[in-house]
Each structure stands twice: as C-alpha cells, then as structure tokens.
Structure 1
C-alpha cells in the first residue's frame, strides 16, 4: 500500500492569508494529501507569502533556499509559492528559485487543484493574471474548531502610497450575502462558535455589487450584512476586520450596539496622527475625523475595545509629525496597536521618494511608540480587574496545561484554571483577578453556553 502524500503549509502575514491557507489545505485534503507539521517530511510544501514588510519576504527566500536544496535530492517534491510575494514577483521568482513548480497569486487560491493538475502534467506554472475569484466552495481545513474566518470581500481599491495590497490582491470583489450566510450556517452546524468576517477593506463591502435601496444607497453594505447573518444558528459571536476610517459609518456603529452577537471590538488602522503624513500616505481622512469615529464608538459603547495599526518613520516624517502620532495614541488609549517602521515596497510610490529616513530614526521611533503603546494598553486593561467577563474557550494554555485560554468579547486573551476537554467551545463567565497590558487571568464562575 502506498503511503499517502503529505503536505505542509507555512503562512506569513495577515488574516486574509490565514483564511486562504485554510482553503488551500482543504483542497489538498480533498485531493488525498495528509497534513504534516514537519516541512522536511512533506511531499508538497506551500509557502503562503506576505509582502507588506521586507523581513517577511526575506524569511520566505531563506525557507525556499532550504527546500530547493532538498528538491535536488528528492525530485518529486512539489514546491509552491502562493500569496502576495508570488503575485508581486511572478516569473522572476523562477529565475531566483528555478526549482519551484507553482507560483500563484492570492486570487488563485481556490484554483489550487486545477493548477496542481497542470504541474503533475509536467508544467512549471505561474498563475498571477487577474481573474474573477472563484466562489468559496471548498471546505477549508480550519486551524481551530471554535473560531473561523469567513471572507466577505477580496482585494482593495485604495491606493495608499506605501501599500502593495491593491497590486497583489486585485480590485475589490464582494461575495453575495447568501453565499456568506450559507458558509456561516455550515460552520454553525459543525459546532463553531465565533466567526470573523474578513476583508482587506471590509467597510467597502458590497459597493461593487449591483442594486440600490429605495433611499438610493447601496443595497449591500457591511451594516446590512451584519443584520442578515446575525441570527445564524450556533454562531454565538461575530467580529469583522479590517476597517478603513474613510468608510466607517455611524450606522455601522449603531448596528454593532444593537446586535447582541457582534463583539464590542473595532480594529481601525489610523497609520499616522499627522494630517500632512496622512495626505502623503493618500489615506483620505484627517486625524480629526479618526478621533470623531472613536468618540462616536465610545458614545454608543463606552467599554468597546479599540485596536489599530500605525506606521512610523514614513518618508519625510519630521520629529514633530511623529510626536503627533504619539499624541493621538496617548489621548485615545488603544487596547492594542500593531506598530511597524515604514518599509519601502517595490512598485509603490513612496518607495521611490528621496526623503527616506534612516534605520536609526526608524528604530528609535518604533521603540518610543511601542513603549507608549504598552503603557496605555496596561492602563486600559485595568478596567477589567475584578469584573466578570464572558470568555469563549479556544484552547489549552501551552505554557500551563492546567489552564485554558480564550478571548473576551473585547478580544482580550484570558487564562483561567480548567479542563480543556470539558470547556473547549464554551462561553464561560470568568472573574478577572489579574489584568496585564495584553492579557488577563481569572477564575471561572460558570459556563454560560454549552458546547
């Protein structure tokens, strides 16, 4: 009896990439492949890549070099680069790593089986041409049995001067609400408790779909989608990401307040606290507009958790402009903030500008921002101390097997004593005994929802 072929996927980057990897894993399993944790035991190795930062890209090349060497001894090894680096580099990847069998951009994730059949026919395949994305009909191999990603819109029509995403993920393409709901209903049947609706720019959902309402607005919006999927049986929590301040509406905030399953957590990147820098980034809003959005959220939901993304040392950013970012972070008080020093990306306008800042300035500003972020997050976290929070149990604490871990509705990672076999997938009332900057510890009071 022949041993089944094994596959390994390494995923870099954003939640969209994680969702793509789960779908590609589902396709491979339907084709008879078995998953292995060990990339050096696999017969098929797939790197799902990210090109937002240079260091993620360099790591891919390092991994690829080792696998290419392995392929020289094991010619039947199938080597695939998927995702944003694949889309950006295309055929030039073959010159760099001629051992590759398949290079495929993110829009082609659902076509993996067709592309592999071409590879098995002896072709070296490059699939980076823009296409209409095939609907999500594959059953993904989900990394969790409790929480799941559901794509609602692919691509991005924004053209921020630092960002490669529109170039590598293509133009916006929304899924119809019926397809999204059908996927969520299937997840509910399978026992999943939480769904995160995903889009590179999720507030743009529906604007490419035909139809308007009697009031003359788009028939399909993220707000309408939340109302439409809210009552899916079995799904206890709904989240969404990533939002863009330009399209974030009060109507959406009201919906989040009204709909009990929608979690009080908003991820809205601001990128810079300075209007001139925002203009150079081509973000399409001011820091005043961003602050108004946060104030509106807090008026409706005072306890809502706010997270964001920020970039320091963008080309030409002065010390004073950087201090405007520090000021915004200090005054808003984020629960969590993903920070990065600006990294020039090929094909983006900002990469060609001659006012790039030094690595020393980048490192210094990033360190100063991170110090403030941790301080503010620790302050924000104190509001949880002594409170009872609803925690959806996702897994065992890898550092302490007597504890389980999960997330509050505000997306705070929380640990407490408990048996994972008994509690996985349950929502548990937990009294918080210790509040740290980015996580909580507590004691279970009772399970609120049975698994």
Structure 2
C-alpha cells in the first residue's frame, strides 16, 4: 500500500456487543498506524460494523456502502470492510452484491482485523466467516467514553429462539476465563475508568462452557461467582451487566447484586411477550409467570431497582388477546425502560418461514399502543425519584445546555444538573432530583443545595 496518511472511520449498527467489537477494532487500527476521522469521506479505510436483528439496520448498511463503493471507483486505494452480523450472514454473497468490498468478516474475527487487513493490502479480497475460537485480545480498545467501559465476558449464544439470527451469526457460546476478565478490568481501572459493563448476548450462561476453574477453593463458573471475583478491583466504583435471559436468571444472582455494593441495581431482562403460547412459539423456555416471579424477587431484595427489558409485537400468529397479555404484563410490572420492536422476519430463522405472519399495519398499530403504555408507565416510575437524592456518575457535558453536566444514576437513569465537567467528570456526586421525565431526570448537586 502506498505510504500516505492512513485514516479510518467505523460506523456501528446495533447492540452493545457491536459497540464493544468496534472499540476493539479501532484499537487494532490505531496500533497499525491509522488515525480516527469523524468524516467517512475523509477516511481511506472504512468499517461498517453491521447488525442483522432488524431489516432496516441491514438496508441502511447497503445504502451507506453503495455511496462508498461509488467513491472507490475514483479512489482505488480506499479500503472497504463490512464486519459484524450482516457480514457473517451474507458472506460471499456480499462480494457479489458489492464487488468493491475488500474484507467481509464475522463478529468472531474482530480480534484478527490486523492479519486480515494484511491479506487485503497484499492484494486479496478476503471473506472471514468460518467459526473459530475467539482468542484473547491484547490490543487496547479505543473506548468511546473515558468514564465507563464495556467488557465482553462471553461471546456467542446457544439459545435457539425461533425469531433470532444471533446464534447463526455470532456462533456458539465462548466464555472468557475469570482471570482474563479481571486482568482487563484492572487495566481499565488503571486507566481511570470508574464503571464497567459486563457484556454477553446471554450473560447468565457465562461459565457453563468453562472447565471448573477454582481459586482458593471457589468455583468460578457462573456470573454470580464472577461478580464476587471481580467486585473488589480498586478504582472501579460501579459494575453493570447485560443482557440477561429469564430462563437462567437465579435468586442467587439477585442476592449477589443486593450484597455487593458496587453492582448497580439495574437489570435488563428481556421478556419479549407476555403470552405463554407466543413465548412457546418463540422457544424462549419460560412463562410470563416465571418472568413476573423474577421481577418480584428483585423488588423484594431491592425495592428501588430499575428494570428494563425488550419486547416484540406482531410475532407470527399473535392474536389481539395475546397482544393484550403483553400490555397487561407491561402495565403490571411498570418498566423503567422498554426497548420495543415490531417482529421482523430474519433470514435463516424458523419464524420467518411460517405462513401466519401479521400484517405490517397490525404490527405498526400494536407497536404504537405498546409504546404509548411504556411512556405512561415510565413517567409513573420516574415519580419515585422526585426530591430523592441520587448518586450520579458524571460522564459528559449536556450538549443541549453546556452549563449542565450529564451522568447516570445507579439505576441507569440519565440525570442533568448544573456543574463544571472538568471538576466533576468521573466522580459520583449526590444530586437532589427536582424534575422528572419518563426517561431522564434533572436535579441540583447536593453541595449546591445545602450551601
């Protein structure tokens, strides 16, 4: 490759796992001598880290890609990379569709970006989608935040939900060893980060593929054990984890979150549907009663815990009555936040082939009705914060009002208040909440209130 200023840009679609993968790929590129640029048109290496969960995310990738493929016709030195789940799903088909592509690589290959690019710079068009064991990555990620960091603890997923493409694009479960996770967290702490979020597609499955690792007699092969093992890393003030699966969520884990002061009282546990027949068709492996029981146990130990979830409407065969069961569950539980989606048929999933698909109009109507209820319930849940003092980890400036800083409560609620970022960034400060909205809060820093 002709020596010139090497600049890269990464566009990330989809989940937190993808964001974490992008940070690692950015770290690799910077190790290779590339510099980050905000503007993709100014970059000579472009990575699209893709998501295949929803059709619209996939279509967006193709439109972005089309523009850059056209640019490449005039700038042959431009390197185009598609990574992530669409790359895994489409493989060589992508090259046929967009022949200008240089590298197509699945999520399992993110840590190999440098060696794959070496092949590209040697003149090859490369497709890396074969299943491999994800080896430990020693490259430092280029993290988006310098207060809060993602830490992958398990890759892949062994579940077979009938609507979900993740197992076929992210591969089988591979847990990292407790030692490598702790070493990464210690390194993060040394860099001055205050919060870590442990990530896994199905985080409660952590450790079940590991041999019975022990240290001082303790078996370190569940998420609960891992939380105890990493809890006392000096410098880290908060620990979060996502995403949980109700099938594997245990009371022992709930107790650990209650007992360990650094673990945030915030749980993201998707329920997907409030109807048992639909849950069975989805192959989720639990009932709405089991889900409600988990939430009531969490609230028994931690009455103020924040609960967020994911839900799908318009799954094939869903009747109005079954949809009402989802509304009932949302109404009864009162989530702090709910990510909602209309069912989208995905390639290589059983549900996409069923002939009892719901019309787009019906899906759209149900999504609207669910979102309305979500907003109402979130506003109700927010009321509990009014006049309360919350501990807020300060992360950034409020882009809409630069006299304010923004941070998050233990329960992951965005909170705005007047303050100086240079003085407060990375600190946990007491904030008296003076204004509540469905999904965010405003307050006054306590020292200002009492002064």
Q: Normalised by the shorter chain, which TM-score bucket?
A: over 0.9
| Contact in 2 for aligned 1:111/1:134 (Cα 8 Å) | no
Tell me how many residue pairs correspond in the alignment: 446
| Contact in 2 for aligned 1:155/1:170 (Cα 8 Å) | yes
SS at match of 1:404: strand
How far, CA to CA, are the matches of 1:363 and 1:312 in structure 2? 9
SS at match of 1:263: coil
Please tell me whether residue 279 in structure 1 is matched to residue 292 in structure 2.
no
Report the counterpart of residue 313 of structure 2 in structure 1. 312
Q: CA deviation at 1:420?
A: 1.1
Please tell me whether residue 222 in structure 1 is matched to residue 227 in structure 2.
no
The structure-2 alpha-carbon separation of the partners of 1:105 and 1:2, relative to structure 1 and needing over 3 Å to count, comes to closer
1:289-328 deviation digits (Å, cap 9, x = unpaired): 0000000000000000000000000000000000000000
How far, CA to CA, are the matches of 1:107 and 1:3 in structure 2? 30
How far, CA to CA, are the matches of 1:251 and 1:213 in structure 2? 19
Q: CA deviation at 1:422?
A: 1.2
Report the counterpart of residue 241 of structure 1 in structure 2. 242
Residue correspondence of structure 1 range 190-339 to structure 2 within 5 A: 190-211=191-212, 219-339=220-340
SS at match of 2:152: strand
| Contact in 2 for aligned 1:206/1:218 (Cα 8 Å) | no
How far, CA to CA, are the matches of 2:397 and 2:160 in structure 1? 41
In structure 2, runs of 5+ residues without a counterpart are none
How far, CA to CA, are the matches of 2:147 and 2:214 in structure 1? 36
Report the counterpart of residue 13 of structure 1 in structure 2. 14
SS at match of 1:98: coil
Report the counterpart of residue 33 of structure 2 in structure 1. 32
| Contact in 1 for aligned 2:89/2:169 (Cα 8 Å) | yes
Report the counterpart of residue 443 of structure 1 in structure 2. 444
The structure-2 alpha-carbon separation of the partners of 1:2 and 1:122, relative to structure 1 and needing over 3 Å to count, comes to closer
How far, CA to CA, are the matches of 1:224 and 1:123 in structure 2? 45
Report the counterpart of residue 184 of structure 2 in structure 1. 183
Report the counterpart of residue 161 of structure 1 in structure 2. 162
Structure 1 stretches of at least 4 aligned residues deviating more than 4 Å after TM superposition: 216-219
The structure-2 alpha-carbon separation of the partners of 1:217 and 1:188, relative to structure 1 and needing over 3 Å to count, comes to closer
How far, CA to CA, are the matches of 2:191 and 2:133 in structure 1? 29
1:78-128 deviation digits (Å, cap 9, x = unpaired): 000000000000000001000000000000000000000000010000000
Q: CA deviation at 1:134?
A: 1.3
How far, CA to CA, are the matches of 2:409 and 2:219 in structure 1? 33
| Contact in 1 for aligned 2:219/2:225 (Cα 8 Å) | no
How far, CA to CA, are the matches of 2:89 and 2:3 in structure 1? 38
1:397-424 deviation digits (Å, cap 9, x = unpaired): 1111111000000000000011111111
| Contact in 1 for aligned 2:178/2:220 (Cα 8 Å) | no
SS at match of 2:40: coil
Residue correspondence of structure 1 range 41-440 to structure 2 within 5 A: 41-211=42-212, 219-440=220-441
SS at match of 1:24: helix
The alignment's TM-score, normalised by the length of structure 1, stands at 0.97
SS at match of 2:144: coil
How far, CA to CA, are the matches of 2:245 and 2:151 in structure 1? 18
How far, CA to CA, are the matches of 2:136 and 2:171 in structure 1? 15
**CA-atom RMSD in angstroms:** 1.5
1:143-177 deviation digits (Å, cap 9, x = unpaired): 00000000000000000000000000000000000
| Contact in 2 for aligned 1:207/1:218 (Cα 8 Å) | no
Of residues 436-445 and 217-226 in structure 1, the stretch that sits farther from structure 2 once superposed is 217-226
| Contact in 2 for aligned 1:390/1:429 (Cα 8 Å) | yes
How far, CA to CA, are the matches of 2:281 and 2:123 in structure 1? 47
How far, CA to CA, are the matches of 1:217 and 1:372 in structure 2? 45
How far, CA to CA, are the matches of 1:107 and 1:392 in structure 2? 33
Q: CA deviation at 1:4?
A: 2.3
SS at match of 1:152: strand
Q: CA deviation at 1:219?
A: 4.4
Q: CA deviation at 1:2?
A: 6.3
How far, CA to CA, are the matches of 1:2 and 1:126 in structure 2? 25
How far, CA to CA, are the matches of 1:129 and 1:325 in structure 2? 38
The alignment's TM-score, normalised by the length of structure 2, stands at 0.97
